[in-house]
Structure 1
Amino acid sequence: MSRIVLGVLGVLLALYVVFGFVLPALFGLLKFALVLAVVAFVVVALVTAVAKSKK
């Protein structure tokens, strides 16, 4: 009986860790990567526009 209770508690703890720590960390990392990609796109667009206007 205690084995079943400990197994259920282990599963609940694992779900708490996944939904409490891992998923928010992944979403934060994806948000950071998205912001970085937007900034890189703007820089490339500005450099391209300046290079074409110099010709």
Structure 2
Amino acid sequence: MSKAKGKAKQVKGKVKETAGSAMDDKQMQAEGSAERMSGKAEEMVAKTSEQMKKAKGK
């Protein structure tokens, strides 16, 4: 898992969410929102993992 992958997932989810909103497709909107939140969680896990590795090194 990496911060870049999490960020990419967030962007993809936002695009899907926006497209769903523009097409009035509630399911696509919900899928995009879920994907965006999943990406945010992945990014946070990656950041925490990096911080733990740095803390162990000190």
Coarse TM-score class (shorter-chain normalised): 0.5 to 0.7
TM-score, normalised to structure 2, is 0.57
Q: CA deviation at 1:52?
A: 1.0
Residue in 1 aligned with 2:26? 23
Counterpart check, 1:36 vs 2:39: yes
Give the CA deviation at 1:50.
0.4
Runs of 4+ in 1 over 2 A off after TM superposition: none
Structure 1, unaligned runs of 5 or more: 1-16
The residue type paired with residue 40 of structure 1 is E
Distance 1:33 1:49 in 2: 25
Give the structure with higher Rg (CA).
Answer: 1
More helix by share: 1
Q: How many residues align?
A: 36
**What TM-score results when the alignment is normalised by the length of structure 1?**
0.59
Percent sequence identity over aligned pairs: 6
CA RMSD of aligned residues (A): 1.4
